[in-house]
C-alpha cells in the first residue's frame, strides 16, 4: 500500500485553483444523481423505477472520475455540498489535516486527525 501524501500549506494552496473547478463538477454531478434517485423512487410503484437517460449516466461517470482524482491526490472530500476538504499534513510535528472550504481564499486552518471541522484552528 502506498504511503499517504503529506501536504505543506503551500502545496495545498497550489491545489486550490483546480480544486475549485473540480468541486463545482462534483457538486453538479451529485445533484443530477440525487435528482434522478428522487425520480426513480417516485416511479418504483408504477414501473419499477424506470430508467434514467444519458444525463444521469454522464453525471455518474463524472462523479466517479472526480472522486477518484481526489483520492489519487490524497485530498479528502468531507462535504461535497459545501466543498469541504482536508489535505493530509503535519502541524506541530505530528500528523494533522489542513482544512479548507470552498469560498475561502486559502488554506488557513488545520485540525487533528481524530477531530473535524468544528475543531479547526488557525494556521
Residue 1 is predicted with a pLDDT of 46
Instruction: Kindly state the cell numbers that stand for 112.
Output: 487533528
Q: Is 68 helix (H, G, I), strand (E, B) or coil?
A: helix
Q: Is 5 helix (H, G, I), strand (E, B) or coil?
A: coil
Instruction: Kindly state the cell numbers that stand for 119.
Output: 475543531
CB 5, CB 88: distance < 8 Å = yes
The 3-state DSSP composition of the chain as helix, strand, coil percent (nearest 5) reads 50, 20, 30
Residue 28 is predicted with a pLDDT of 95
Checking if the pLDDT of 94 tops 50, the result is yes
Of 13-22, 51-60, 66-75, 109-118, minimum mean pLDDT range: 51-60
- Note the pLDDT tens digit of each residue in 21-65: 999 999 999 999 998 877 776 655 555 545 566 788 899 999 999
Residue 38 is predicted with a pLDDT of 79
Instruction: Kindly state the cell numbers that stand for 5.
Output: 501524501
Contacts of 88 (CB under 8 A, 6+ apart): 4, 5, 6, 7, 74, 76, 95, 97, 98
Amino acid at each position: 500500500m502506498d504511503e499517504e501524501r503529506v501536504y505543506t500549506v503551500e502545496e495545498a494552496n497550489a491545489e486550490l485553483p483546480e480544486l475549485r473547478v473540480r468541486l463545482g463538477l462534483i457538486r453538479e454531478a451529485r445533484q443530477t444523481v440525487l435528482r434522478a434517485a428522487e425520480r426513480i423512487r417516485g416511479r418504483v410503484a408504477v414501473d419499477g423505477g424506470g430508467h434514467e437517460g444519458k444525463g444521469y449516466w454522464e453525471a455518474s461517470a463524472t462523479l466517479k472520475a472526480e472522486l477518484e482524482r481526489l483520492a489519487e491526490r490524497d485530498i479528502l472530500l468531507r462535504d461535497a455540498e459545501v466543498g469541504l476538504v482536508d489535505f493530509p499534513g503535519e502541524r506541530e510535528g505530528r500528523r494533522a489535516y489542513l482544512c479548507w472550504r470552498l469560498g475561502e481564499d486559502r488554506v488557513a486552518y488545520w485540525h487533528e486527525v481524530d477531530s473535524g471541522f468544528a475543531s479547526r484552528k488557525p494556521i
